[in-house]
Amino acid sequence: MELKISANMLYNYVQCPHRLYLDQFEDPVMRDPETAFTKLLWENGIDYEKKVVSDMKKPFLDLSRYMGIEKETRTRKAMNEGIPIIYGGRISTDLLVGEPDLLVKNDHEYLPGDIKSGSGLEGESESSEGKPKLHYAIQMALYVDILQKLHYAKSRKSFIYDIHGRTIMYDLDNSKGRKSQLTWWEVYQNSLETVQKILGQEMITNPSHGGSCKLCHWKSYCIKQLILLKDLTLIPELGRKKRETMVEQVNNLLFFAKKPLSEFISGKKTVFAGISIPTLEKYHARAKLLAKIDKVPYAKTRIKLPQTDTELFFDIETDPMHDFCYLHGFVERHHADSSTEKYVPFFVNNLNEKEEERIFIDAWHYIKQHFPCTVYYYSPYEKIIWKKLARKYPEIITSSELESFFNSPLVVDLYTDIVKKHTEWPTFSYSVKDLAKFLGFQWRDKSPSGAESIEWYHRWLENKNPEIKDRILQYNEDDCIAMRVLLEGIKKLPLKTIK
Ligand code: SF4
């Protein structure tokens, strides 16, 4: 195989194996245009790298302006000379190629490192110090592999310089996680083998509907195919892994929906490894809805909602690139009468902690003024961010105060507590966008998405154009109204038991 495997290919493989295949073998004209948000991510990554490099205190050799073979020859020469820090180099073997941002020499070897405009760890919380990210680890492993093969490294150590200015060591001999038997290095080796098969066309990949599709440039192309194939991953939450378990016996959604569930149950188990009877019942019910055997959404159990004079529909907007919350938006309604509805936003004027703290205080006081009222939000995201803000600004709300707020029966995660537990819908996902659109709600913006909103916010920071601010607020208001539309839709759902 002539094509060398790069860190970018491994990154794509981790996101979705089919993306790796399509990027390599499908006609690029079939791709969706890159979104403004994707461009922003790129630009942001480049800007952050430039800033880190320009602030670097120690001297380094800059090879970033060279390309291809020349870059590589200069990198090898610099490593042979023992240059302590090399920026923007290139290393390769017959099979692999990598461009680590940094190559840093210690007493015995070179360690590769990347500058990332994201956090170097995932899952950091009060109770966990977090762990390396798979897509970073696998890229680091590729660099280490090349350096070892070229005899510039002996250990399997590398590092990430992250958005918080931290140097995080990625020791690839460490286990991937508490539950995993594999080390990061073994995960890399397995992935490399699969990537080789995909690139050599010895392995067929298939599209799979899931979270990675949101920002993928093959989204329209794949969704058409998935619908045509009536693919099982169109069933919300089923995903690639469970499809692989089921596909030998059930190769599409229509077939699954038409078969009686009893055909897939043997004693107290299903015939599919790792899928329990209640989970299969749930997927089967969803398949029947999507196949239009059951045509209308329904509630699986009687739904009890809090009864208060005032309801607040709450949605926040954050900028993950700056780890910053720039908007808390509320739609306030009284006596369940939508004509009383009013939008109340708390928006930052500048990107600084004082402003972030100010709107957090204002939003909290606003809620307190109306309490007791019902507060609706969608998915645990708002709760996660508020907990983070409370840790950052502890004088505003104590952790226990916030805990009891979110534990109150009047504060409802409409997705986790209601939609996911008690309802079924004929849609490909249970996002508030899909469900509210199903109920006939239209966002006023022509391309509404949280990702786009972040891009608008970045543009607003640059030029403070009031039209952009209006667009951000209008989008957030529509997200809040969509929740109210969904709530009303839920109240009207017929009651039906799955079996
Ligand atoms: S759209 Fe989804 S399935 Fe298709 S390549 Fe992208 S991530 Fe994979």
Q: Provide the pLDDT for residue 266.
A: 94
Give the count of domains, the chain: 3
| Alpha carbon distance 118, 107 (integer Å) | 29
pLDDT of residue 395 exceeding 90, the answer is no
Q: Provide the pLDDT for residue 468.
A: 95
Amino acid letter, residue 488: E
Of all atoms in ligand 1, which is nearest to the CA of residue 19?
A: 5
Amino acid letter, residue 239: G
381 & 334 share domain: yes
Cβ contact 191:10 at 8 Å? yes
Amino acid letter, residue 225: Q
Is 210 part of a structural domain of the chain? no
Q: Is the CB of 213 under 6 A from ligand 1?
A: yes
Is 382 part of a structural domain of the chain? yes
Confidence category of residue 297, pLDDT binned at 50, 70, 90: very high
Question: What six digits make up the tokens of 57?
Answer: 């205190």
Q: Which residues contact 496 (CB under 8 A, 6 or more apart)?
A: 294, 298, 299, 300
Give residue-wise pLDDT tens across range 335-369: 999 999 999 999 998 889 999 999 999 999 999 99
Q: Provide the pLDDT for residue 407.
A: 96
Cβ contact 10:190 at 8 Å? no
Hey, which of 218, 229, 243, 244 would you mutate to test ligand 1's pocket, going by the most ligand atoms within 8 Å of its Cβ? 218
Cβ contact 174:156 at 8 Å? no
* Nearest CA owner, ligand 1 atom 1: 219
pLDDT of residue 467 exceeding 80, the answer is yes
Question: What six digits make up the tokens of 492?
Answer: 């009207």
316 & 455 share domain: yes
Q: Which residues contact 112 (CB under 8 A, 6 or more apart)?
A: 98, 100, 102, 103, 140, 143, 144, 147, 153, 158, 159
pLDDT of residue 499 exceeding 90, the answer is no
Give residue-wise pLDDT tens across range 221-275: 999 999 999 999 999 999 999 999 999 999 999 999 999 999 999 999 999 999 9
pTM, two decimal places:
0.88
Q: Is the CB of 387 under 6 A from ligand 1?
A: no
At residue 117's C-alpha, the angle toward residues 354 and 111, to 5°, is 130
CATH number at residue 35: 3.90.320
Among 184, 199, 214, give the residue marking a domain's end: 199
Average pLDDT score over residue span 452-473: 93
How far CA 196 is from CA of 27, 96, 136, 226, 432, in Å, comes to 20, 11, 19, 25, 39
Is 218 part of a structural domain of the chain? no
Is 168 part of a structural domain of the chain? yes
Confidence category of residue 2, pLDDT binned at 50, 70, 90: low
Q: Provide the pLDDT for residue 107.
A: 85
Q: Please confirm whether the linkage preceding 84 is cis (ω < 30° from 0).
A: no
Of all atoms in ligand 1, which is nearest to the CA of residue 15?
A: 7
| Alpha carbon distance 327, 334 (integer Å) | 23
Is 355 part of a structural domain of the chain? yes
Q: Is the CB of 14 under 6 A from ligand 1?
A: no
Q: Is the CB of 218 under 6 A from ligand 1?
A: yes
123 & 13 share domain: yes
478 & 354 share domain: yes
Confidence category of residue 498, pLDDT binned at 50, 70, 90: low
pLDDT of residue 180 exceeding 80, the answer is no
Is 141 part of a structural domain of the chain? yes
Instruction: Using the CB atoms, write b or e for 443-457: b if 16+ within 10 Å.
Output: beeeebbbbbbbbbb
284 & 341 share domain: no
43 & 184 share domain: yes
At residue 250's C-alpha, the angle toward residues 247 and 255, to 5°, is 145
Of all atoms in ligand 1, which is nearest to the CA of residue 207?
A: 3
190 & 270 share domain: no
The whole-angstrom distance between residue 134's C-alpha and the CA centroid of its chain comes to 13
Cβ contact 453:475 at 8 Å? yes
Provide the edge-to-edge strand list for the sheet that holds 411-413: 337-347, 324-334, 310-319, 374-377, 411-413
- Residue predicted with more confidence, 171 or 122: 171
Confidence category of residue 323, pLDDT binned at 50, 70, 90: confident
The single residue listed with the structure tokens 């539950």 is 179
Q: The domain containing residue 417 runs over which residues?
A: 310-491
270 & 136 share domain: no
Q: Provide the pLDDT for residue 470.
A: 96
Average pLDDT score over residue span 403-431: 96
274 & 361 share domain: no
At residue 471's C-alpha, the angle toward residues 469 and 477, to 5°, is 105
Is 346 part of a structural domain of the chain? yes
Question: What six digits make up the tokens of 388?
Answer: 């983070």
The Å distance, Cα 222 to ligand 1 centre, comes to: 6
Percentage, residues of the chain above pLDDT 90: 86
Instruction: Mean pLDDT check: name the lowest of 48-52, 179-183, 244-248, 303-307.
Output: 179-183
Cβ contact 136:170 at 8 Å? yes
